[in-house]
Amino acid sequence: MQRGWIIPIGGGDKKVRSSTILQRFVELSGGADARMVIIPTASQLDTAGQRTQDVFGQLGVSDIEIVDLATRADCADPKFLEKLNAATGIFFTGGNQLRLATTIGGTLAAKALRAANARGVHIAGTSAGAAFVCEHMIAIGKSGGTPKRGMASLSPGLGLTNRVIVDQHFRERDRLGRLMTALAYNPFATGVGVDEDTAAFIGPDDVIEVFGSGGLTIVDPSELEFSSMADAQTGAAVGLIGLKLHILLAGDRYDLNTRRAFPSAGP
C-alpha cells in the first residue's frame, strides 16, 4: 500500500483559512466525500476543534469528527479508535506539541495513526501539530539565527517519518538557529522550516512540494564537514561547516531521497 501524505503547516490559522493549503488537503482526502477527523489535543482552547470543523465545512466536507484525545485513557477508547480507523484525512490543530507527545505517545491511538498513514490516510498538522508528525520532534527551544548548545530540546513525536525534523512559525519567530541546533545533535535528517501560511506536502515518494504564501527553509546536513557541538558549553555558539540551505516557494519541490531542490518551472 502507498503511504498517505504527511503535511506539516507552519501555523498562522487566520491566513491558512483563505489559502490553498487546506483546499489541497481536502482534495487529497476525497473532496466532498472525505471523512475528516480533527484532533485538538494540543490546544487549551475549547473552541479549537469547532473552529477547525467550521473551516472544513466551508470547504465542502460534511463528514467531520472531532476526536479530543484529552487523556491517555481516551487514546485507548474503542469509539475514538474506530473514528481514527474510518478517516480519510486527519488534522492536528496547533497548541503545545508536548501536550500531543505526552498524551498520545505510546498509546493505541498513536499506533492507529501510524497504521492509518501507512495504508494511505493523509495526516496534516498546523503549528504544534506540524512538529508532532515527525519521529524526532523539537519540543522546546529559543529564537535566534546562530545555533547554540541547548538551544533546542528534542523528544519523540508521532513517528510518521524520520526523514525530516520540522520547525514551524519559522521566519516569523526567527527559528533557524534552533533547527540547526536540532540537526547538529545528530545530522542524519533534513531540516524543514515552515513559515506561517505555508505547508510542506510530503508525498509517499518522499518528495516535498510547497504550498502557501510563505517559504520553506530546507537545511541539508548530509555533507556536514565539521561540527563543534560535542565540545561546546551549554549556551555557547556551535560552529557548523558544510551545511546546505535552500529557500523554496510555492510550487518548488525537494527530493528527500536525492537531496535535490527543484524550482516550480523545473523538471
> What positions carry a catalytic annotation?
127, 169, 196
3-state secondary structure of 195: coil
Grid cell digits, residue 164: 525530516
C-alpha dihedral (60, 115, 167, 229), degrees to nearest 10: -170
Pairing mode, strands 152-156 and 164-167: unpaired
Residue type, 193: G
CA distance 50 to 33: 20
Q: Which among 209, 172, 9 is positioned nearest to 92, based on CA atoms?
A: 9
Long-range CB contacts for residues 15-22, cutoff 8 Å, separation at least 24:
15/196, 15/197, 15/213, 16/126, 16/197, 16/212, 17/55, 17/58, 19/197, 19/211, 19/212, 19/213, 20/211, 20/212, 21/197, 21/198, 21/199, 21/211, 21/212, 22/55, 22/56, 22/59
Residue with the three cell numbers 545533535: 185
